[in-house]
Amino acid sequence: MTYSLEEAKFQVRSMGQNLKKEGLMVGSWGNVSVRVDENTFVISPSGTSFNSLSNEDIVRVNIKDGSHDAGKVPSSEYLIHLITYKSRPDVSCVIHTHQPVATALSTLGVSFNDIKRYIPEGMTRDVTILGNTIPVTSYQFPGTKDMMKAIGKAWKKNPEACALLIKNHGAIICGEEARETFYIVKMLEKMSKWIYSSIVEIDEEDLKFEDAFETKYRDKLKWAKDNKEMLDKYSFVSRSPFLVRYSNLGMDLEAYIDDMAQLCGGVVVNLTGKINQSFLAKQLKDNSACLLKGKGAVCVAESEIEARNLCMVLEKNAMAAYLAKKYGNIPPIPEKYAKEDRKFYLKSYSQRVKDSKK
């Protein structure tokens, strides 16, 4: 199935907004594309919230050579959409997500075969659209041709699959039409919860990611009143389930997903013992977050939205790290890649700030 140009743009906006409503997208981490014809697809632009998109913002991309509308910047991950359309001429929609539980599963670096064995009795009908295998790609630095090649290789090896896990990064889902593709995204997260709860031996109900939104908000960092730089920042004290669970381990939180590496680098320190406000302020002067043993995490950012997004990303990473510890011998993202992730994010973030002031 293909769509007219205007229909395709509408579907991109609509699905992106619905992904956010369903809790399957944080900030601008994730992208949506729809095929217009055999040579063209349209995709969400780089670094823009779906809530503020118009049809004029959506970018046309040529499937053959990757060229795109002049004066517009497609999602930085447009290459993984391009290789999917090239590899899968049968699909008309591609959604790339960093959805919480599927992303956590990706860190294990294993494909899940015979997934029917994880399905609770009486629930088979919902997830049959996934088939019986969820493949995983190797880890590659995000947005690169290496990641594109890894995904192309995975599609070639699994031509019947409709969803791939991208190691330490997220998932990519494809379908014959937009509504079907969005449904597959939801079913992938449902199946991921069943697999996760089976490995970690926790109740599926404990994987409700919306709990990460239940944070204690502080307007300003009043406890950092002597630091002018900190006074302009916002903070959340997050007591979301996996941040509390992981902080109880007394271990520093290493980056298992690219999102955390971008926002925090390779490690978020877990502070133990008695911590006074002054010490906490010093820790957060050069770091965007820290864990408090048994209490969760403090997240600091330039705006309320960014502080909230940081809390959610840390919850996802804690979920992934907790799974990795339970599964055994699963390493975090290599330090050099975590540093590159952080460097790339800071460069692109500072550019967006400059652009917003023009």
Taking the whole predicted model, whether its pTM rises above 0.85 is answered as yes
The model's confidence at residue 358, banded by pLDDT at 50, 70 and 90, is very low
d(CA 41, CA 39): 7
Ordered structural domains, the chain, with CATH: 5-205 (3.40.225.10), 208-356 (3.40.225.10)
Neighbours of 157 (CB within 10 A): 11
DSSP 259-317: HHHHHH-SEE-EE-S---HHHHHHHHHS-SEEEETTTEEEEEESSHHHHHHHHHHHHHH
Residue 352 has pLDDT above 70, yes or no: no
Pick the more confident residue, 254 or 231: 254
Angle, in degrees to the nearest 10, between helices 145-157 and 78-87: 30
CB atoms within 10 A of CB 21: 11
pLDDT, position 292: 92
Cα–Cα distance, 17 to 150 (Å, whole number): 28
pLDDT interval class at 330 (50, 70, 90): very high
Separation of alpha carbons 178 and 31, rounded Å: 13
